[in-house]
A and B are shown apart, each in its own frame.
Chain A
Amino acid sequence: MVSNKNAAVTTLQNILKWIFLGFFLFISLYPLLWLFLASFKGTNLDLQTNPFGLPEIWHFENYADAMATAKLGSLFFHSILVAGFAVVVNLAVTSMGAFILSRVEFRGREVIYTMVTAGVLIPIISFMVPYFTVIRVLGLYDRLLALIIVYSAINIPVSIFLLTNFMGGIPQELEEAAIIDGCRFHQRFTKVILPLTQSGLATAGTLCFIYAWNEFIMALLLTSSESSRTIQLGIRFFTSQFQTDYTSMYAAIVLSIIPSVIIYTLFNEKIVSSMTAGAVKG
């Protein structure tokens, strides 16, 4: 009798557990799936008559329309350019900084490290006016270079945190051996520490890339013309361009999501582990 009751409780627990997990699985995937299917449907009317099912005819031309109307090709190119160079600039300055902060003893080291990493606590949206002013004064308004610099700067706290911890874990003996072998200061950085930091650089770089690829508000604020428009701004402007043609707009959104999904598929271990490191220590 008792064991029967226990078995019933266990079964009930199991059912509840899978309903709970199933709900979040559904909410994580179904909206994306629905959007994907909707992006192949013929007209807005199809969305009403056939909201859940597969498209009766797969309208690939929606994608061609989206590419043409919104000039998606050049927006993609701008975003890749911005995100790519933001990663390069960010990693260049933070790897040098982290090298000093993790492996060289000097007064003020702790202060600089704490001050820089505390930057994550600041809500960047509160800097709309200052960033606008700085970019104006630098003469970079409405240029992709503005976004490259801003994104690489915003990611300094996260990258410094990850790289300083990573470099701090490299055994001291390696560097001492290099000094005995006649390695000069900058060579200790380029020949000893940097090669051993590749995995940390990949993590920090991935996070910076995702941030830069996805960023919206500063792009909206710091650029105005089509020649410096990123993909995220593009999707936002589609709303007005595709007022009557929802399915093509959905195609455009799907296209903008694909690179994120590819990067996540390739690097999900790195991304997930960096999230953990940041939160547990911070």
Chain B
Amino acid sequence: MVRENNTGKIILFLLPMMVLYILFFLFPLLYNLSLSYQEWNGITKPSFVGWENYKNLLKDEIFLKSVKNNLLWALVNGFIQVPLAAGVAFILARQPRFWKSLRVIYFLPKVISGVAIAMMWRAIYNPSYGVLNAFLGIFGNEPVNWLGQIGTALPAVMFQEVVYIGYFMIIILASVMSIPVSLYEAAQIDGANVFQQEMNITIPMVKTTLITAITLAMAYGMRHFEATFLMTNGGPAHSTTVMGLLLYNKMAAFNYGEATATGTILIIMGTLVIIVMRRLFRDNDNASVSQ
């Protein structure tokens, strides 16, 4: 690395990036926090109200429901989607026929916009014209209003996210592929079957990656917003609401204080998920084989 005396040039090169970073990361963080202690409708002068916005949120049933749903999203993402992705990655790592094409296809839905995917699934779930009811109708089932009734709406929104495993599959697959083949050869000579090999070699060797994937998936669950906004808008009867949606609605109602308080809680809870996961698994990490 080259030692540089010219501070001016360093600053000049970093400046454009830092200006944008400060405007769109640091300032928003502080602005969110400071507004969350104020009452403001966007027009009149904001006034300091202490913990009032937070207290209001904790009394708000929709907020509590949102937090609960976000936690559910985090759990479903972390402990259903990631294991499914890991299963696919473990299989693909053994390079069955077409594995390269499958890898590319599984990731495809992840590059298509969330709006298009959500609209597509709305079409699929459509009670009159959707293909899902058409398919179930073959077996004589009555049409179901998937997104319109309380029991099915949340699972329906979750399904269309959980089945797109591409992102986590790619991460885990890369990690599995880096395990030396000799380990599996040795296990095979010792008579270990495929299942035993996966349990005793693959999972311990990619544990760090699995934990990273679960942590990321849970963090994404905490910030879930778009598909719900587009598919159910939180309904029916707020059964699918999430914190991001509540923030949006509070903001649309010019309740900037509670909107930013929701945002601050969202940031804190998202960070907490990451910290808790790190804490839970840190000791194990240190003990595991050097990776």
Contact = CB atoms under 8 A, between A and B. Distances in A.
Interface residues of A, number: 90
Contact-size category for B? 35 or more
Nearest to B1: A105
Q: What are the 9 tightest A-B residue pairs by CB atom distance, in nearest-first order?
A: A130-B28, A51-B134, A123-B223, A214-B113, A126-B263, A97-B17, A153-B24, A276-B174, A279-B171
B104 interface: yes
B17 A44 contact: no
Given A123-B270, A250-B123, A156 B21 contact: yes
Contacts of A177: none
Contacts of B17: 93-94, 96-97, 116, 156, 160
Contacts of A27: 163-164
Contacts of A96: 13-14, 16-17
A176 to B, nearest CB: 8
A272 interface: yes
A21 B270 contact: no
Nearest to B19: A93
Contacts of A48: 128-129, 134
A228 interface: no
A25 interface: yes
A7 interface: no
B97 to A, nearest CB: 9
B197 to A, nearest CB: 12
Interface of A: 13, 17, 20-21, 24-25, 27-29, 31-32, 34-35, 38, 44, 47-48, 51-52, 92-94, 96-97, 99-101, 103-106, 112, 116, 119, 121-134, 149-150, 152-154, 156-157, 160, 172, 175-176, 179, 185-186, 189, 210, 213-214, 216-217, 232, 235-236, 239, 246, 249-250, 253, 256-257, 260-261, 263-264, 268, 271-272, 275-276, 279-280, 282
B183 interface: no
B165 A280 contact: no
A256 B116 contact: yes
Contact of A103 (B1, B128, B248): B1
Contact of B87 (A20, A105, A261): A20
Given A153-B23, A279-B171, A34 B131 contact: yes
Nearest to B7: A106
A121 B6 contact: no
Given A126-B32, A153-B20, A160-B17, A51 B131 contact: yes
Contact of A216 (B18, B20, B114, B131): B114
A128 B111 contact: no
Contact of B106 (A24, A51, A157, A214): A24
Nearest to B159: A27
Nearest to A46: B129
B256 interface: yes
B226 interface: yes
B63 interface: no
A29 to B, nearest CB: 6
B158 interface: no
Nearest to A160: B17
A49 B63 CA distance: 43
Contacts of A150: 24
B144 interface: no
A112 B251 CA distance: 32
A101 B13 CA distance: 10
Contacts of A127: 24, 28, 32, 263
B243 to A, nearest CB: 8
B33 to A, nearest CB: 10
Given A25-B105, A264-B108, A272-B107, A31 B13 contact: no
Contacts of B170: 272, 275-276
A163 to B, nearest CB: 11
Contact of B2 (A20, A38, A104, A134): A104
Contact of B96 (A17, A131, A179): A17
Nearest to A271: B111
Contacts of B10: 100, 104, 106
A154 B25 CA distance: 8
B21 A116 contact: yes
Contacts of B219: 121, 123
A30 B183 CA distance: 38
B24 A154 contact: yes
B91 A21 contact: yes
A243 to B, nearest CB: 12
Given A263-B111, A279-B213, A28 B123 contact: no
Given A125-B225, A132-B251, 8 more contacts: A24-B163, A31-B121, A97-B18, A103-B1, A126-B223, A127-B28, A256-B116, A264-B107
A59 to B, nearest CB: 15
A133 B27 CA distance: 11
Given A103-B1, A154-B24, A257-B112, A28 B175 contact: no
Contacts of B129: 44, 47-48, 246
A268 B104 contact: yes
A85 to B, nearest CB: 14
A186 B8 CA distance: 12
Contacts of A152: 20
Interface centre among A38, A210, A232, A257 (most CB of B within 10 A): A257
